[in-house]
Chain A
């Protein structure tokens, strides 16, 4: 363990990367829904607002207030979506992120009950306003958890994409569904990631999907030689270089919600491949900012982050010659 790292430890606090979340948390704590609505309304058209909804959904006990809000205004799409998102969050917390084999029957029953409650709120939200992307984005989570099927998840994504073609969070959720662990296939996952990257404007986060797909693929293989061989393929490296160039390294890139995860994915993958020079560039961009995903895939998140960063930065310190080659 490189606990004796000379660099500061990774900062997983979401408010460090996105200071507006601190403000949002205060507004939610004060049940100031008017302020949250105004904040949403003030975001540029086409923004991925998932962070706002996940901030509210992550607030303990907020469901009580949201239920009152929905009861008072049953046609309030914003309130329906917030409560739906909260129910999804409660359900997934009971289920935990563990593999299905290690989730008990009771956990599954509670998980599904919360998702069904969420789904019915969200059905109403999308029925009232079919162009309301945040509700469709949540319905990708319910579709996955309730195992409603690949085509149904795809249908939901298509409904969302009609009004919001480059919704990165929704794409990331559908990508999960397209992976074999949720009854999809690697072909479907990789081609979706690539398609969405190419469709998105240059500099947007969407190319991060390519990195996510490779990371999922890598994790799905047996630890050791199989994983090593997978990342050793030249096309994988080339796709990652292209994807990073179209997103976090592009001149048009802006640090929007989700960028820490995307930059982290590139850093992690280049580091796993052994392309420490490229990994270092992403680590430098991150400073010490971190998100649970992707580092939770690589072990204890803080430890994994530190280990990979220190390796990458040590090899490319000014004292050593620039190492442009792989391995």
Chain B
């Protein structure tokens, strides 16, 4: 092995530094142990905002630079001449200690544009819930209302010299580099939460194809398994079956000793069933231990080339910086290569079984994977709160309960032990509550289940809404701008109690429940009785005049017709609103 390609550990301005010798253009990166998984749903996006603000002063440079906010790490990287590298890194650190807050609102807009292009998919939220690593599935709801103080505090507590690692691939550490950052703590890795009571599990979502997500030990055997799996998916689904066009696998090390294996096969809508069946069979083949030495060798050749190429050490530096921040043991290339060559088909079989045990499968909407032994991921809660109930739905088939400790939405005539499905969000585990000016609220629990509270649809009084608003932890509240189409009585939402729809800040879709009838309020009841009674009196008067007035010698026929018509008109005007209330609300 080329001794120059070794990675050396040193320090620059107190920041641990990984250096490897590379001739030619220099590359460097500053990595922080800070990411989306460190945030909360109601305040999500702060790290990303800091990253953007820190790069603003770099302006339009000739050299190539960028920033990346990941689940547990934030990267600032750069490629260029020595002095450019020094200027970039020095500038990033200077900005981090003094963020250009005059840019705050503009960068928020930039993030919103970026968000509309970002699509991480729903797998993380189904695996981890609306917290920690699951947050990457959600919109950055904390950005809109983040104040300069919020952003400054976040930067100060996470972007510190003790929470950073520098890496450099070049001829030497560039002179003139100055990394002045506040002192802080090396942050522990984010907690790994779970929203899956049992694995392997599945959920149905979208139309794109089949996706697998599995957590396996981060070893060379796992890398090779990922490669072998991709080959076999391509062979079975694309080459032989012609069911898929794209098949791919990917590994994302979580830096806690585990790596997340992802596998994907796209599908034409008409071939989804065959793609799912073929996908399941490919996985089953590996789980049964059918792994050929030839496949292993083919994949190993490529993996070894990636480790032994002159570029290898430089390419590994960002990952090694993450490992260092996470406190993972040092793994040098020679050691990894020897481990790589020791892998047998038996080892891959072990990885396949480990992956099978932790698998989460995303199957196209309308399909299931229970037949293949995957358990449906939860789309319902196992408890319901007690408190005032509000009925809605065409036949009273949805019921909102507002309790002291949370809210529940019960849907009848849906799959469940007794034909019902309940979604409950407890206030104490409410990850976020979206709040619209029209009074609508969406509560999202830490497990990812959501409950929509639409006062206009359920007939919930303002006093009850105030109770909910007061009970949700303040950091979870996300005030949002007015919605273009707030749900109304005649355009009621399908009660969205599941995590099946990828959550967005958009209003709940108008859906299947077309004629939801909310509970009649006290005021509506009183108005209805009063209008009905008055209408009745006028109706009686109109009737008497119509029947007997014609014979009255004191009125002409013209007068009789006019007065009768007037009285009938008043009756109609009084009765009509009462009928409207009667038709559009329900008694309970």
Contacts and interface: CB of A to CB of B under 8 A. Distances in A.
A326 B73 CA distance: 83
Interface stretch (B37-45, B336-344, B369-377): B369-377
Nearest to A155: B274
A127 B288 contact: yes
A124 interface: yes
A123 B274 contact: no
B277 A155 contact: yes
A240 B370 CA distance: 42
Given A126-B281, A128-B288, A155-B278, A148 B241 contact: no
A166 interface: no
A23 to B, nearest CB: 33
B288 A150 contact: no
B111 interface: no
For B280, B288, B290, B371, which residue has the most chain A Cβ atoms within 10 angstroms? Answer: B371
Interface size class of B (residues with CB under 8 A): 20 to 34
Contacts of A152: 273-274, 276-277
A116 B281 CA distance: 15
Given A127-B287, A127-B290, A148 B273 contact: yes
A219 to B, nearest CB: 26
A126 B285 CA distance: 8
A155 B244 CA distance: 13
Given A116-B370, A120-B373, A123-B280, A151 B288 contact: no
A149 B273 contact: yes
B395 to A, nearest CB: 19
B390 to A, nearest CB: 30
Contacts of B271: 151
Contact of B277 (A124, A128, A130, A148): A148
Contacts of A150: 273
Interface in B242-271: 243, 270-271
Interface in B488-541: none
B295 to A, nearest CB: 15
B284 interface: yes
Q: For the complex, would chain B's binding face be called helix, strand, loop or mixed by DSSP majority?
A: helix
Contacts of A75: 288
B285 A154 contact: no
B288 A119 contact: no
Contacts of A146: 371
A194 interface: no
A127 B232 CA distance: 13
Contacts of A176: none
A192 to B, nearest CB: 16
Contacts of A149: 272-274, 277, 367
Contacts of B273: 148-152
Contacts of A115: 371
Contacts of A143: 277
Contacts of B241: 155, 158
Nearest to A126: B281
A282 B474 CA distance: 84
A142 interface: yes
Nearest to A130: B285
A156 interface: yes
Nearest to A162: B240
Interface string B11-27: 00000000000000000
A150 B269 CA distance: 13
Interface in A41-93: 75
Nearest to A118: B371
A119 B371 contact: yes
B270 A120 contact: no
Contacts of A124: 284, 288
Interface string A123-145: 11011101000000000001100
A123 B270 contact: no
A116 B243 contact: no
Contacts of A127: 281, 284-285, 287-288, 290
Contacts of A156: 277
For B243, B271, B280, B284, which residue has the most chain A Cβ atoms within 10 angstroms? Answer: B284
Nearest to B278: A155
Contact of A128 (B272, B274, B278, B290): B290
A130 B236 CA distance: 12
Nearest to A125: B288
A159 B290 CA distance: 16
Contacts of A119: 371-372
Contacts of B288: 75, 124, 127-128
Contacts of B270: 151
B371 A116 contact: yes
B254 to A, nearest CB: 29
Contacts of A128: 288, 290
A123 B243 contact: no
Contact of B371 (A130, A148, A154, A155): A148
A146 B276 CA distance: 14
Interface in B274-306: 274, 276-278, 280-281, 284-285, 287-288, 290
A217 to B, nearest CB: 24
A114 to B, nearest CB: 11
Contact of B281 (A123, A142, A148): A123
Contacts of B272: 149, 151
Contacts of A116: 370-371, 373
A123 B290 CA distance: 13
Nearest to A77: B288
13 contacts: A115-B371, A116-B373, A120-B372, A126-B284, A127-B284, A127-B285, A127-B290, A143-B277, A148-B371, A149-B277, A151-B274, A154-B274, A155-B243
Given A116-B373, A152-B273, 8 more contacts: A119-B371, A120-B371, A130-B290, A143-B277, A146-B371, A148-B277, A149-B273, A155-B277
Closest 8 CB pairs of A and B: A149-B273, A151-B274, A127-B284, A127-B288, A152-B273, A152-B277, A155-B274, A127-B285
